Structure 1
Amino acid sequence: MMGFVHVAVAVLSFLSVGQSAPVNNCESLTKLIEIQRDQLLGKWMIVAESTNIPASNKLTKVFVESSWVKITASNESGVLDVFQSQKMFGSCFTISTTMKLENGTLFMEKPAKASEVLLKTSCPDCLVVSMNYSIGGNTFGGLQLLSRRNQVTAAEMDEFNKQVECKGLRPPTILDPEKGICPDDSPSQETETESTDLSDAMMDLDPAVFDQFQRMISTEGGMNELIKLISSGLAAMKEN
């Protein structure tokens, strides 16, 4: 049971949100910008995200309180080390992955094939990441808003909402750093909060698990079952 919960949380972390007036300037809102390696480096708060993965937004809204990533340059040319930490039910979970920057696009091979590009944004310290993932033989897309700050302005969020709409995605899930942020991985930082590293669980993940996960979140009954399993598992982890 606990092994399944770790895998489910790992997959959720990896994937890891109303109608408005039609947007008429989608061409400018979805314009790509060239990725410069140095602009990616450092720590970023994940402010909001939306995907077309069935039920992903609802799962993120139910479980994920806050999340951040730290990107550093690897010793290997063109390779970036990505460390992600997120808080769920008062517990912290981390995943370490690598991505390669080639011809203005970020690529990932494990735990699943993915590509990412950047969209233009008027936010001076933000990244708007357009993602494509191959999961269980299907391709899914999404947008993610990252910022150096814990929160962005209403105007900056409105712009991101319009970009989401232009991409035909569901209204984004907005994460809430006021609920607490997992500590930095710096060894000099003293904290009583323990983090569970899910990197090995993700890297050794059988592709069939992605298929199973996808089937579960593709139906209302399956999604509710998954929510119950993860909720009970996380509660048991906190008791122990």
Structure 2
Amino acid sequence: MTDQYIFPQIFGKWIFIEGFSNHEMFNAVLRKTNSSWIEILPTSHTETVLLNQGNLIDGKCLDSSANMTFSKNILQISQNNMTATGHFLLSCPDCLVMDFNSTMDEVHIRSLYIFGKSRTLPEAELKQFQKQAECLQYPQPAQYSYDGVTGHYQP
């Protein structure tokens, strides 16, 4: 898959549907997450995208914005004490699957997320994603599964 193939497909707003992690620090956050969305926008620099994010975690609204480098289907970000590299995996047309490797204070964490254009995904697509997670050796079950109902924080 080339950048030209995936690059335009990542733009827009995405609702966080389900997430896995291999580390309790991230799992604790995933379990407290009520709802979340991301918005990926192009910038004037061809290898930079803007990532806006809105989260409802433990009933509190949190938002953030960060520039990310995008090259060869890989997103990279360094912010505060964390660096992360995200790879896009094949998925359904209205889905975005990202496999992240993050390092925080010398702790290495892997996470796998699926986003959709709408609040729900077909059951077959979720099953396929769960099989991907199992194949990639993520602990089961998912630590975050959006209920499709809880409202989304809008900045």
Give the 3 Å change call, closer, same or farther, for CA 55–91 of structure 1 in structure 2: closer
Distance 1:142 1:174 in 2: 14
In 2, Cα distance between equivalents of 1:67 and 1:51: 16
TM-score by length of 1: 0.59
Query: Which residue of structure 1 aligns with residue 133 of structure 2?
Result: 164
Whether 2:95 is the aligned partner of 1:126: answer yes
1:84 corresponds in structure 2 to 53
The Cα shift of 1:119 comes to 1.1
**Which residue identity is paired with 1:43?**
K
Larger Rg over CA atoms: 1
Could you say if the C-alpha distance between residues 34 and 138 of structure 1 is closer, same or farther in structure 2, counting changes exceeding 3 Å?
A: farther
Q: Are 1:128 and 1:143, in contact at CA under 8 Å, matched by a contact in 2?
A: yes
Instruction: State whether residues 65 and 87 of structure 1, in contact with CA within 8 Å, keep that contact through their aligned partners in structure 2.
Output: yes
Which amino acid in structure 2 is aligned with residue 113 of structure 1? Answer: T
**Higher relative helix content:** 1
CA distance in 1, matches of 2:138, 2:86: 16
The one of 98, 104, 116 equivalent to 2:73 is 104
Structure 1 unaligned segments of length 5 or more: list them.
Answer: 1-32, 186-240
Q: Which amino acid aligns with 1:73?
A: P
Paired residue secondary structure (1:66): strand
Which residue in 2 is equivalent to 1:115? Answer: 85
What is the rounded CA distance, in whole Å, between the counterparts of 2:85 and 2:29 in structure 1?
Answer: 22
Please list the CA deviations of residues 29-52 of structure 1 after superposition, one character each: whole Å capped at 9, or x if unmatched: xxxx44432111110001011111
Aligned residues: 150
Report runs of 4+ in structure 1 exceeding 6 Å deviation. none
TM-score of the two chains, using structure 2 as the length reference:
0.88
Aligned to 1:182: 153
Tell me if structure 2 keeps the 8 A contact 1:65–1:177.
no
1:106 touches 1:115 (CA, 8 Å); kept in 2?
Answer: yes
Whether the 8 Å CA contact 1:44–1:69 is kept in 2: the answer is yes
The answer for the alignment partner of 2:15 in structure 1 is 45
CA distance in 2: counterparts of 1:83 and 1:137, whole angstroms: 26
Overall identity of the aligned pairs, in %: 24
Partner of 2:35 in structure 1? 66
Query: SS of the counterpart of 2:41?
Result: strand
Deviation, 1:58, is: 3.8
The equivalent residue for 1:153 is: 122
Change (3 A) 1:113 1:89: closer
